[in-house]
Amino acid sequence: MFKSSKMDAPDGPKKEVLLSFKPTGRLLTLQEIHDEFVLMREALDKPLTAQIAARITAKSGSHLLKLVSPRVDGDHAVLRLDPPQQNRRSCILPSVNAPDIPFCKVVFRPLEVAGHGPMSVVDHILNPVDVSPKVLADFGRVFGEDVLKVLRAGLLEPAKAPLKLGAGEFPIVFIPRSGGGDLQITPVSPALAFMGMKRVADAYFQKTTADNPRPPRGRWTKQAISSKPQNISGAIGGPRLRFFATMPPVMQQAEAELHRYVHGGAFPRWRDEGVGIWLLRYGDMLAADSKYNNSDTRAALDRTADRLIRDTQGFIAETLADAAHMAPDKPLPRPRLALVLIRRSWKKNERELALNALSSAHFEDRLHKSGIEEGAQ
């Protein structure tokens, strides 16, 4: 008997909660794992046998070829490729016939143990953690040591390599061999990438509600091409989708800098090359003024400093207006005028000359007479 009075009780957990490919929210202590496996066993209509466990492991992989073509032969439908340069095995999904899906929901259900992330029996076998021995021992006591032994062997040993592909749908790419001739390759995406892309696309089709933030929007189009995802994997919910998305154009450099400034980044650079030339000329004039000081050189020095200050104020005002248009309700910090002038590319020894000019008593005096107090900003 697999149906107990506990399962039939009105307040007992439902079958879809006990058997699932997704976390169910049932937070368990390590001592409750055994009883949870008992409930899962009782939720099955038939016992999970070693033969079924062998079928599950033989048809579970990190890459499911049926995602590319539904005509792939069942014995040649999965690949297992581990991430390179990592000391853990890749996540896998089952691609079994419909009658075996309930059993997959036992071994692939993410068990939520307090203090640990959700991990399934398959995860505990492939990438064990400190609680894995206790979880697997309880699984073996409930479902049978022979079932656990078959799961270990089937998951830890290399999967049988597929020897043929469904004709028609698979992309074929030829690349040159180093010794001459061509190598035919067939790109296949990881099954988890399919689910990850589905989660990304789903966010753009959420309905707008008054109590939640406005969902992201874009030019997205989706088309259902299969209404039976179980033919691919019971772990992949919903129909297979194709989508078309039009992405925004890449920002120009000035636009990107303004965008970063609005979101807390540095003030945009002033890329007028003539400004750097005038700033260096002003530095040379300051050096000459210490030796040859008369009314004419002093007036020229004042005009040069005032021009730098006036033009920089204009650039700052124009940039702040653009930023306010991009984020009208966001207060934005006003940059120091001297920092706007110095923040550019300089050749060797030029930056020191420019810094000396901007920190000079003359430049501070012209700032003060222009009504600008740098120290207060």
Query: How do residues 94-128 score in pLDDT, each as one tens digit?
Result: 988 889 999 999 999 999 998 899 999 999 999 99
What is the C-alpha separation between 230 and 169, in angstroms, rounded?
A: 19
In angstroms, the Cα distances linking 47 to 53, 106, 280 are 11, 11, 85
Look-up: residue for tokens 């002093």?
298
Largest alpha-carbon pair distance within the chain?
110
pLDDT band, very low/low/confident/very high, at 7 (cuts 50, 70, 90): very low
Q: What is the DSSP letter of 373?
A: -
More confident residue, 202 or 168: 202
- In a 10 Å sphere around its CB, with 0-12 CB exposed, 13-18 middle and 19+ buried, how is residue 249 labelled? exposed
pLDDT band, very low/low/confident/very high, at 18 (cuts 50, 70, 90): very high
Residue 25: how many other CB atoms lie within 10 Å:
8
Position 279, amino acid: L
Structure confidence at residue 231 (pLDDT): 67
pLDDT at 376 > cutoff 80: no
The helix or strand, by DSSP H or E, that contains position 93, with its residue range, turns out to be strand 93-94
The top-scoring range by mean pLDDT among 8-22, 41-55, 281-295 is 41-55
pLDDT in tens, 286-320: 888 877 778 888 888 999 999 999 999 999 999 99
Structure confidence at residue 226 (pLDDT): 58
- pTM, whole model, 2 decimals? 0.58
pLDDT at 44 > cutoff 80: yes
What is the C-alpha separation between 316 and 375, in angstroms, rounded?
A: 17
More confident residue, 274 or 163: 274
What is the C-alpha separation between 143 and 43, in angstroms, rounded?
A: 13
Position 274, amino acid: G
What is the C-alpha separation between 272 and 319, in angstroms, rounded?
A: 14
Q: Among residues of the chain, what percentage have pLDDT more than 90?
A: 36
